[in-house]
Amino acid sequence: MQSERRKIRVLVVDDSALMRKLISKLLEGDPEIEVIATAIDGSFALAKVAQLKPDVVTLDVDMPRMDGLTALSEMVSKHHTPVIMLSSLTTRGASLTMQALEKGAVDFVCKPTGTARLPEMAEELVSKIKAAARTNVSALNTSLPGVPPIKKLRPLTGQGRGAGRIVAIGASSGGPHALRYLLPRIPADLDAGIVIVQHMPESFTSMLAHWLNEICELQVKEAESGDLALPGHALIAPGNQHLKVRKTPQGCQVLLEGGASVNGHKPSVDVLFRSVAAEYGTLGTGIIMTGMGSDGARGLGEIKDAGGLTVAQDKESCAVYGMPRIATEKGYAEKVVALSELASYLVTKVGRIAELENTYACK
């Protein structure tokens, strides 16, 4: 019975007394969560993590004395504690959050600018804490050895490979770290454009794209409506907009739409995958990666039904084995692959452009 399960023990860390009180009250409204302590900064937080061994820590990014990033590193590396970051919806907040995800934070929640959004934040925070309690923290410590030196290539001019293959990737919690591992290992001459939905709010997706572009041979950017997802490119759906693809003579064109959330998300992985199935059929590839919930599972099934290639990240390498689990259990994923093997598997199945030098001009 659910009521007989041990409660998830949470440590709340924030330099604001008001936020500590509000967050604790919001969390204690859920019968599965118990706030065991609070801390005013990273130094006090580390002492309480060592003493109390919480199941999950909610950690403010920006604090005096010892900030969240400094404390996070030790929480993850020494104590192997799942951490949810609390961030502000600012450019600085987005930048600090990217650094936190790189250091091993499971996920993040944006602090509301006013009390009116507190119930919305509470729902998101509770669901992410429950997912974090089941997180494989070691998957977030995966290093990046052996990535070749970056060799950026000039973008195609629009007369590229035309309407060839497309690879669509969907991820949620743990996704930024998984993408940071995967994308640098994908060669720019992969015979497909890449489109990505990562569950993130506005302003954070552009920071994610910039963060990934710095370490990839691929050209990575936040998608704009009308962009072409050609070989050598990876386009990331902007926060708060769905991304669809359309097959054109010039290549894979991306379209951005507003509208309602799907499966509680905007952008939604299902929206992307369904458009890939409809437009690309056997030339489409869907990859569902780490994340909580079920977004993307049905869309992956549609890609499979259309004759495309469908892949799920395996349990052992997922930080949160939610979305891939649903897709695998329902039989939508033809192949289950470890994160460490995913790039080579993709290259084997999709192929590479043989005459790269005739299509690209190196800088």
Write down the catalytic residue from 177, 199, 233, 265.
199
Instruction: Give the list of residues 6+ apart from residue 131 with CB closer than 8 angstroms, or none.
Output: 106, 107, 173, 292, 320, 322
Residue 31 burial class via C-beta count within 10 angstroms: exposed 0-12, middle 13-18, buried 19 and up: exposed
The residue annotated as part of the active site, out of 30, 67, 107, 172, is: 172
The dihedral over CA atoms of 23, 24, 26, 31, expressed in degrees to the nearest 10, equals 150
Annotation marks residue 233 as catalytic: no
What Cα–Cα distance (Å) separates residue 118 from each residue in 22, 27, 97, 295, 357? 9, 11, 20, 24, 54
Question: Is 172 designated active site?
Answer: yes
Closest CA to 313 of 276, 281, 282, 345: 345
Which of 55, 189, 295, 314 is labelled catalytic?
295
**Tokens matching residue 304:** 């499979």
The reply to whether 199 belongs to the active site is: yes
Q: What is the DSSP string of 160-207?
A: SS-S-EEEEEEE-TTHHHHHHHHGGGS-TTBSEEEEEEE---TTHHHH
Helices (H), the chain: 17-28, 42-52, 68-77, 91-102, 118-132, 175-182, 204-213, 269-280, 297-305, 323-329, 339-350, 356-359
Provide the β-strand partners of residue 312.
288, 336
For residues 202, 203, 205, 206, the Cα torsion angle rounded to the nearest 10 degrees is 140
Residues annotated catalytic, as ranges: 172, 199, 295
